Amino acid sequence: MQTFTNLPWTARSWLEIPVNSDFSIQNLPFGIFSTSEARQPRVGLALGEFIIDTAVLFDAGMLAQVPGLSRELLYANSLNSLLSTGVSTWRALRVRVAELFTQGNNDVLKNADLHARVLVKQSQAQLYLPTKVSNYVDFYSSREHATNVGAMFRDPQNPLLPNWLHIPIGYNGRSSSIVPSGVAIQRPQGQLKNDADPAPTFGPTRQLDFELEMAFITGKQTQLGERIPTSATDEHIFGLALLNDWSARDIQRWEYVPLGPFLGKTFATSLSPWIVTLDALQPFRVEGPEQTVPVLPYLQTHGPQTYDIQLEVWLQSARMNEPIKVCHTNFRHMYWSMAQQLAHMTSNGTNIDIGDVYGSGTISGPTPDSYGSMLELCWKGTKPIDLPDGSQRKFIEDGDTVIMKGWAQKNGVRVGFGEVRTSVLAAN
């Protein structure tokens, strides 16, 4: 089992950090960024409104204590190479950066030239996908979401399929269409067919939807044939990020029988730029929902397996000055844990790569305002949302922007994920 290194609750940074900032000194999430002055992508850690340029710290000799670290690992367009060195390197890097920016340490604070070069305003940086993603898997692990969808489209009396309480359902997605926050997506086109139509037609989706998810990102590679037990999954998970797994409900509904999601899902998936480490999230670890049906031995776990992470979705039309909140839920509602998802995914011996992305599936809670998709919030279009501009929404329209936010907070310490923000363009 991985041994975690938590930064002290009482630690405070000498850098001024706004109240309720997601990026406290206890967080320090990892990402990849560049600036207009320095276009080479490189590794940064978020603190307050700034990005700490680790490459500058390395060149200044401030990271000599970090084992296995090199200049090439930090001047990189993904975190993959850094993660491949092992947990001892990236963990020591995060701890050393925390030390340099904690009150009482003057190594950076009193060095005017270094101070000016090492801190980059997030608002002035270009942020990228944090890892090079070889594989993407999306799960279907919220009991509330699966129940809602089953009640809408199958049998309200028996909404869950027989296997759902026994197996973490998932499918292999398309990693090439994962895009970072801030990159707009185009409305997808595909085959559409209503029940009353004699034949399908081809055109833009009329039921574009978001799916509020968390993603875990792997930080350790396995070989083909190797299985990961639930007791060892923490050793293979680097951290978590926000994920919007877009859906075209009408395209998906027509195509998904008999093989499941395809073009209705693969057109775009939006990922937040910051990965929050499991180390930073350990103080927020909690028990998940009771699993009412006994699971097979390879899926059994011990101790708290999920995290108390508040999640919100905001929606803004092109005519609105400010977004409105349409959903507030919590990651702790997920029925299947990340440990069970990864253990099941590798139970057949499939191998995992560093930087792989694993979506939780839509995160819905027990109340209507906690549903993690428009399909549920508007209940298949029967309960539209009223917007301040006078319009209504059953699904997402061209010009709309969807913003997802997430954070954990306890004893005055906030560890957040920033946001994943995506605008929708008309079909090409």
Domain CATH number, residue 68: 2.30.30.230
- Whether residue 23 lies inside any domain: the answer is no
Number of domains in the chain: 2
Q: How many CA atoms lie within 13 A of 366 on its CB side?
A: 4
- Please give the share of the chain, as a percent, with pLDDT higher than 90: 96
Q: pLDDT tens digits, residue range 158-205?
A: 999 999 999 999 999 999 999 999 999 999 999 999 989 999 999 999
Whether residue 116 is found in the same domain as residue 176: no
Whether residue 142 is found in the same domain as residue 108: no
- Whether residue 409 lies inside any domain: the answer is yes
CA angle (162 as vertex; 159, 168 as ends), nearest 5: 95
Whether residue 316 is found in the same domain as residue 372: yes
* Host domain of residue 70: 30-127
Question: From the candidates 115, 145, 166, 328, which is the catalytic residue?
Answer: 145
CB 67 within 8 A of CB 88: yes
- Whether residue 318 lies inside any domain: the answer is yes
H helices of 50-111, in order, are 54-59, 71-74, 80-84, 87-100
Whether residue 112 is found in the same domain as residue 181: no
What is residue 4's predicted lDDT score, i.e. its pLDDT? Answer: 73
2 pLDDT above the threshold of 70: no
Active site residue 166: no
Whether residue 229 is found in the same domain as residue 284: yes
CA dist list (Å): 203 to 189, 193, 253, 378, 426: 5, 10, 15, 23, 12
Higher pLDDT, 145 or 9: 145
Whether residue 308 is found in the same domain as residue 254: yes
Per-residue confidence at 7, pLDDT binned at 50, 70, 90?
confident
- Among 69, 97, 127, where does a domain finish? 127
Whether residue 98 is found in the same domain as residue 155: no
What is residue 6's predicted lDDT score, i.e. its pLDDT? Answer: 80
Whether residue 48 is found in the same domain as residue 155: no
Q: pLDDT tens digits, residue range 387-406?
A: 999 999 999 999 999 999 99
Structure tokens at 330: 């919590």
Whether residue 360 is found in the same domain as residue 248: yes
Residues paired with residue 276 on neighbouring β-strands, in sequence order: 240
Whether residue 215 is found in the same domain as residue 241: yes
What is residue 1's predicted lDDT score, i.e. its pLDDT? Answer: 46
What is residue 9's predicted lDDT score, i.e. its pLDDT? Answer: 86
- Whether residue 7 lies inside any domain: the answer is no
CA dist list (Å): 271 to 27, 183, 232: 18, 10, 25
Of 85-89, 194-198, 233-237, 397-401, minimum mean pLDDT range: 194-198
State if pTM tops 0.95: yes
